Amino acid sequence: MAIPLSSWQFWALLSAVFAALTAILAKVGIENVNSDYATFIRTVVILITAAGILFATGHWQAPDTVPGRTWVFLVLSGLATGLSWICYFRALKVGSASQVAPIDKLSVVLVALFAVLFLGEKLSTPNWIGILMIGLGTILVAYKG
């Protein structure tokens, strides 16, 4: 079964692949540098890459065309992302990638909970069972006994 390039599943799967590579590449990359500085380097690379993609695809738009509410939430999202990256890189600096990454992926559970609490999304019984399994699986994967 082919997944079309315009499907959310395709892009979500690529996101997971790149997130996995992030953990492995970052763990090697932070060996001889402060984790905050490593986060800075990564952020500069992301900024340049995102700008290049915007210009290459013609999707650049004037900042004054973005509504104020959108700016507020994108800035807050950016702050959350930055804090997440700083914490992630610090964790990778002192922990093993095979333990840090699963704990980081508890964000899947938290997103589901936050979506229910703050966005009013509804989850079915199988969805809740899956969230519980992800949470328990995360603990088992991160456990080094």
For position 142, what pLDDT does the model report?
Answer: 87
User: Phi and psi at residue 75, in whole multiples of 5°?
Assistant: -65, -45
Mean of the per-residue pLDDT values for the chain?
A: 93
For position 64, what pLDDT does the model report?
Answer: 96
For position 1, what pLDDT does the model report?
Answer: 65
In a domain, 118, yes or no: no
In a domain, 70, yes or no: yes
Helix 97-104 to helix 68-94 angle, to the nearest 10 degrees? 150
In a domain, 55, yes or no: yes
Range of the domain at 20: 10-104
In a domain, 56, yes or no: yes
Report yes or no on whether pTM surpasses 0.85.
Answer: no
Yes or no: say if 61 and 116 are a contact pair by the CB < 8 Å rule: no
CA neighbor of 86 nearest in space, from 46, 40, 48: 40
User: Phi and psi at residue 110, in whole multiples of 5°?
Assistant: -65, -40
Distance (Å, rounded) from C-alpha 52 to C-alpha 46? 10
Q: Which amino acid is at 120?
A: G
37 alpha carbon, distance to own chain's centre: 19
In a domain, 58, yes or no: yes
Residue 39, number of CB atoms within 10 A of its CB: 21
In a domain, 83, yes or no: yes
In a domain, 129, yes or no: no
- Structural domain total, the chain: 1
In a domain, 125, yes or no: no
In tens digits, the chain (145 residues) has pLDDT values of 677 888 888 988 999 899 889 889 999 999 999 999 999 999 999 999 999 999 999 999 999 999 999 999 999 999 999 999 999 999 999 999 999 999 998 999 999 999 999 999 999 999 999 999 999 999 898 888 7
Q: How many helices (H) and strands (E) does the chain have?
A: 6, 0
Using one digit for the tens of pLDDT, what is the confidence trace for 87-107?
Answer: 999 999 999 999 999 999 899
Token pair for 119:
């966005």
134 alpha carbon, distance to own chain's centre: 16
Residue 22, number of CB atoms within 10 A of its CB: 19
